[in-house]
Structures are given as C-alpha cells and as structure tokens.
Amino acid sequence: MNIFRFAGDLSHVFAIIILLLKIWKTRSCAGISGKSQILFAIVYLTRYLDLFTTYVSLYNSVMKVLFLATSGATVYLMYVKFKATYDHNHDSFRIEFLLIPCALLSLVINHEFTLMEVLWTFSIYLESVAILPQLFLVSKTGEAESITSHYLFALGSYRALYLLNWVYRYMVESHYDLIAIFAGIVQTILYCDFFYLYITKVLKGKKLQLPA
C-alpha cells in the first residue's frame, strides 16, 4: 500500500458514489451507459472470484465486497428499478467487440495459464476499455451532464493514480507488472481527450461536449 494506490482507491470509490447518487436522486439513469456498467460488473466478478479463497487484508476484502456490491446495484438500478429512463437507442456500442478480444488476449498473454490467473488478466484487459461505451454514448448525445462528467473524471483519475502507484512500486520495491501497466496506460490514454475538455469546460461551468 502507498499513497498513490490509496488515493486511486478513494477516487474510484468517489466515482461510484457520484454515479449511484446521481441515479438515485434524479430517479433517472439518463446519460449513463448501461453497457459500460455491465462491463465493469464483469470486471469485478472475474477479478474478485478469490474473495472467499484468498485473504490479503481486511482493507482488500472490504474493497472487493464494495466494488462487487456497488456494480451489482448500479446494473440493477439501470436495468430494473429505473429501466424506463435508460437510453437504449444511444447506448448502442457493440460490447462483444471488447469482450471477445480481451478474452482471447487473456488466453495468450498472461502470467500463468491457470483459471484464476486468466480471469484476473481478462479483468485487467477489459477494465482498460470498459469506459468506451460511456464515451461513445456521450459523443452520440453530444454532451454530458456536469455530474456525469464528475463521475468520469473521478474514474479516470483512479487509473492515472494507479499508474503513479506502479511507478512508485518500481522505484521503491523494484516490482512491476507489465500487464497491469500496459492496461493502465491504454485506459489513461482513452481519458486524455476527456480530461482536457473537463478542465477547460466543466471546471469553468460549461457543459462538456465530445466531438461526434
């Protein structure tokens, strides 16, 4: 554990809280990609299957339960509780184009060809691109609400902070994980355009608009 990882985890939790509060308070999931939320749920399910078999620390276990519970709650709110407010028409990204390549890549490039390790690797690859349906939805609708923008910024900050975590661990512990680093770089690159627009638009009180 180090300050960058802890800050990244806090940013991740903050993003989830923003999202759930947005949906619950407005009683609507307009502007939120259900497909991205399904992908994130798959990420946590495949990554944290070791919850009941491997104990690392209380902190680690609590975070695993939190991510599993909140991702399930988000999918429930979007596809059951507030289904009538979900924008099916604009949320049209073909997620099989992400799931299949990530699954194949995890079978070819992994640390160890075991079930748990392949599933963990799959979750790392999938998380790096899981935000694409959300960015695609924003580009199709032309703009994002401020609260949705805050959610995306917090989520992107989480990955950027985790990259700093890997730099710190390499410098201090001489430890590195090429799969996690590569996936983190890909995910951060996907957020770069959004980060620029967030800083130049949203923080000045303007609506965020992504190019179509």
Domain-located, residue 50: yes
Domain-located, residue 22: yes
Average per-residue pLDDT for the chain: 90
Mean pLDDT, residues 60-85 taken together: 96
Q: How far apart are CA 136 and CA 118, in angstroms?
A: 28
Domain-located, residue 173: yes
142, pLDDT greater than 90? no
Domain-located, residue 211: no
The predicted structure's pLDDT at residue 14: 96
197, pLDDT greater than 90? no
The predicted structure's pLDDT at residue 212: 54
Domain-located, residue 142: yes
Cα within 13 Å of Cα(122), Cβ side: 24
154, pLDDT greater than 60? yes
Pick 134 or 196 by higher pLDDT: 134
Nearest to 145 by CA among 82, 208, 89: 208
**What is the extent of the structural domain holding 20?**
3-206
Q: In sequence order, which ranges of the chain are alpha helices (DSSP H)?
A: 3-26, 34-47, 58-76, 96-108, 115-129, 132-141, 146-173, 178-200
Domain-located, residue 212: no
- How many domains does the structure of the chain reveal? 1
Domain-located, residue 118: yes
The pTM for the full model equals 0.91
Q: How far apart are CA 71 and CA 78, in angstroms?
A: 11
125, pLDDT greater than 60? yes
Cα separation of the two ends of the chain? 40
**pLDDT tens readout for residues 30-57:** 889 999 999 999 999 999 998 988 888 9
**If pLDDT is split at 50, 70 and 90, which confidence band does 202 have?**
low
211, pLDDT greater than 70? no
Domain-located, residue 191: yes
